[in-house]
C-alpha cells in the first residue's frame, strides 16, 4: 500500500473530476477489491435482485492535448523564470521531465483499465446472483463488440489479458443537443460566474502567492490564471496516474487547492449541471424508458459530461443556494463537489428487487446508497419512483427539447 505524505492526501481531496476513485472510498487504498456493506441500504431479506443497471464514467486517463500544452507552458515558465530556492522547484528543475506528449490526448492509462477491472470484481461481490458464470457469453460478446469498434476506429488494443471495456457510444452526449451547443457550449456568457470567480479576490490571491513562491513577476491576466490551473493539473495527474507525491503539489497549499477545486466545480455546475436547465435536459433519452426490463444486467460507459447531467435530472446533489462567483466563502460545506460525485470510474447503480409487496428500487453512487429527493424510503417501491419522476419520464423528448427555437 502506498504511503502518502499529508500534503498530497489533503490536495488529493480537491482534484475534482481529475480525482481518483480511491479518494471517494478511502478503504479501497488498503484493499482495492473490498466492499463496504455499511454504506449500502438493502431491502428486506425476503427480496431478491432481478435487475442491475450500471452507468460508469471512464477510468483514469491522460490529459487532453489542450491541457498538455498548458502544462508544458507552466513547466517551461518554472524552469526558465522561477528563481526561488524552494526544494520542490529544485526537484522540478533537476529531476522532473515533461513526459506528457501531445499524442497522449486523453487516452486511457493502465490505471484507468484497472479502475474498471476492479470495479467489475467488486460488483460481482455486490451482486453474485446477477453477475454469474451463466453470463459468460454476454461478456464474450461485449469483448468481441469492443474489439470490432477498436479495429474500426483504429484504436490501439490494450494488453490481451485486460478486462476493461473502452468507452462505448451508449450514452447521449450533450454535444448532440443543438440547443445546448448554442446556449451553453458556444455561449461565453453561459459561464459568466466561472469567469467572475477566476477574476475575483480568491483566485487573485492564489496567483499572487504562486508568483511569490516562484519569484516571478505577478501578472493579473487570463494567461497566468490558465497556466496556474495547469500547475494544479500537473499535481493531479501525477498523483492519479502514477500515485506520485509530485513536487508540483508542493506549490499549492490547502487553501489554494480549495480555491482551484471551487473554480472547477463552478465550471461543472454551470456547464453540466444546475446552472442552466438545458444542461441536464440535453441527455434526457437516457432515462426516457417504458420501464420494460429485458436483461438482468445493463452496463453503460460514458463521461462525466453524461453522468453529471443525469444526476442533475434526478435532483441529486443540489445545494439550496446556487454556486456563484461571489459565495466561495459560504460554500465550504456544499453538496455539489465534482470530485466526490464524478471522479474517475464514478458509477451510478440502479437495482430492482422483487419483494413480496412488489418491485423496489435501490440507487447507489460510487457504491454508496442514495435516497432520492422527495422519497423517504432508501429502497422505495418502483411505482413511487415513477410517480416522483412522472413529469420527467412522460415529458422528455430530446428532439423537442434540443430545438434551438424551443424556449
Averaged pLDDT for residues 231-247: 94
The dihedrals phi and psi of 300, each to the nearest 5 degrees, come to: -125, 140
Q: pLDDT higher for 225 or 147?
A: 225
pTM above 0.85, yes or no: yes
Torsion angle defined by CA atoms of residues 61, 62, 66 and 70, in that order, rounded to the nearest 10 degrees: 130
Amino acid 345: pLDDT: 96
Provide the strand spans (E) within 137-293.
Answer: none
Start-to-end C-alpha separation, the chain: 53
Q: Which three cell numbers stand for residue 112?
A: 484507468
Per-residue pLDDT tens over the stretch 161-180: 333 333 333 445 667 788 88
38-68 as b/e: b if 16+ CB within 10 A: eebeebeeebebebbbbbbbbbbbbbeeebb
Evaluate whether the domain defined by 6-61+108-203+255-401 bears CATH number 3.40.50.1240. yes
Helix (H) or strand (E) run with residue 290 in it? none
Q: Which residue has the cell 521531465?
A: 97
Q: What is the DSSP string of 248-279?
A: TGGGS-HHHHHHHHHHHHHHHHHHHSTTSHHH
The dihedrals phi and psi of 348, each to the nearest 5 degrees, come to: -110, 125
Q: Of 50-54, 202-206, 276-280, which gets the smallest average pLDDT?
A: 276-280
State the maximum Cα–Cα separation within the chain, in Å, rounded to a whole number.
72
Amino acid 393: pLDDT: 78
Amino acid 169: pLDDT: 39
Give the closest residue to 282 by CA, choosing from 397, 405, 407, 167.
397
User: Do the Cβ atoms of 311 and 370 come closer than 8 Å?
Assistant: no
76 Cβ contact partners less than 8 Å away, ≥ 6 residues apart: none
User: Do the Cβ atoms of 151 and 238 come closer than 8 Å?
Assistant: no
Q: Which of 51, 58, 118, 276 is catalytic?
A: 58
pLDDT of 2 higher than 90: no
**How does residue 287 score in pLDDT terms, banded at 50, 70 and 90?**
low
Q: Which three cell numbers stand for residue 256?
A: 489554494
Averaged pLDDT for residues 282-300: 66
Averaged pLDDT for residues 220-231: 81
pLDDT of 128 higher than 70: yes
User: Do the Cβ atoms of 303 and 58 come closer than 8 Å?
Assistant: yes
Write down the H helix ranges in 133-272: 136-152, 178-180, 192-198, 201-214, 222-242, 254-272
Amino acid 252: pLDDT: 95
Residue 332: active-site member = no
Q: Give the CA radius of gyration of the chain.
A: 22
Give the closest residue to 260 by CA, choosing from 217, 197, 321, 214.
197
pLDDT of 284 higher than 70: no
**How does residue 155 score in pLDDT terms, banded at 50, 70 and 90?**
low
pLDDT of 317 higher than 70: yes
Spell out the domain ranges in the chain.
6-61+108-203+255-401
Q: Of 152-161, 223-232, 323-332, 396-405, which gets the smallest average pLDDT?
A: 152-161
DSSP annotation of 167 reads P
Using CA atoms, how far apart are residues 396 and 384, in angstroms rounded to an integer? 19
Look over the chain and give the mean of its residue pLDDT values, rounded to a whole number: 86
**How does residue 306 score in pLDDT terms, banded at 50, 70 and 90?**
confident
**Secondary-structure breakdown of the chain: helix, strand, coil percentages, each rounded to the nearest 5:** 50, 10, 40
Give the closest residue to 380 by CA, choosing from 353, 361, 405.
361
Amino acid 286: pLDDT: 53
220 Cβ contact partners less than 8 Å away, ≥ 6 residues apart: 204, 207
Q: Please give the distance of CA 288 from its chain centroid, rounded to a whole number.
A: 23
Amino acid at each position: 500500500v502506498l504511503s502518502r505524505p499529508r500534503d498530497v492526501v489533503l490536495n488529493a481531496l480537491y482534484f475534482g473530476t481529475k480525482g481518483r476513485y480511491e479518494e471517494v472510498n478511502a478503504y479501497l487504498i488498503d484493499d482495492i477489491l473490498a466492499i463496504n456493506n455499511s454504506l449500502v441500504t438493502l431491502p428486506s431479506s425476503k427480496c431478491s435482485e432481478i435487475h442491475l443497471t450500471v452507468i460508469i464514467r471512464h477510468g483514469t486517463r491522460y490529459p487532453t492535448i489542450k491541457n498538455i500544452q498548458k502544462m508544458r507552458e507552466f513547466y517551461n515558465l518554472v524552469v526558465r523564470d522561477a528563481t526561488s530556492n524552494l526544494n520542490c522547484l529544485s526537484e522540478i528543475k533537476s529531476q522532473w521531465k515533461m513526459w506528457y506528449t501531445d499524442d497522449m490526448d486523453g487516452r486511457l492509462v493502465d490505471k484507468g483499465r484497472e479502475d474498471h477491472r476492479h470495479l467489475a470484481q467488486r460488483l460481482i461481490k455486490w451482486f453474485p446472483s446477477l453477475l454469474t458464470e451463466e453470463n459468460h457469453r454476454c461478456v464474450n460478446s461485449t469483448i468481441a463488440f469492443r474489439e470490432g469498434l477498436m479495429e474500426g476506429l483504429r484504436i490501439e488494443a490494450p494488453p490481451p489479458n485486460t478486462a476493461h471495456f473502452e468507452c462505448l457510444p451508449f450514452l447521449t452526449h450533450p454535444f448532440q443537443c443543438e440547443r445546448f451547443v448554442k446556449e451553453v457550449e458556444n455561449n461565453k456568457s453561459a459561464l459568466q460566474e466561472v469567469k467572475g470567480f477566476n477574476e475575483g479576490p480568491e483566485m487573485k490571491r492564489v496567483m499572487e502567492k504562486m508568483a511569490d513562491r516562484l519569484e516571478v513577476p505577478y501578472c493579473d491576466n487570463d494567461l497566468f490564471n490558465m497556466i496556474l490551473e495547469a500547475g494544479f493539473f500537473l499535481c493531479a495527474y501525477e498523483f492519479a496516474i502514477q500515485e506520485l507525491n509530485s513536487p508540483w503539489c508542493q506549490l499549492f497549499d490547502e487553501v489554494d487547492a480549495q480555491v482551484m477545486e471551487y473554480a472547477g466545480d463552478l465550471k461543472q455546475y454551470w456547464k453540466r449541471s444546475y446552472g442552466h436547465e438545458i444542461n441536464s435536459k440535453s441527455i434526457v433519452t437516457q432515462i426516457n424508458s417504458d420501464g420494460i426490463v429485458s436483461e438482468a444486467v445493463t452496463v453503460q460507459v460514458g463521461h462525466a459530461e453524461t453522468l453529471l447531467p443525469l444526476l442533475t435530472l434526478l435532483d441529486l446533489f443540489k445545494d439550496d443556494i446556487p454556486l456563484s462567483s461571489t459565495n466561495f466563502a459560504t460554500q465550504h460545506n456544499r453538496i455539489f463537489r465534482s470530485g466526490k460525485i464524478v471522479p474517475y470510474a464514478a458509477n451510478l447503480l440502479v437495482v430492482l428487487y422483487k419483494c413480496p409487496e412488489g418491485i423496489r428500487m435501490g440507487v447507489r453512487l460510487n457504491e454508496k446508497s442514495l435516497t432520492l429527493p422527495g422519497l423517504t424510503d432508501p429502497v422505495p417501491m418502483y411505482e413511487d419512483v415513477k410517480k416522483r419522476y412522472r413529469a420527467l419520464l412522460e415529458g422528455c423528448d430530446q428532439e423537442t427539447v434540443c430545438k434551438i427555437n424551443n424556449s
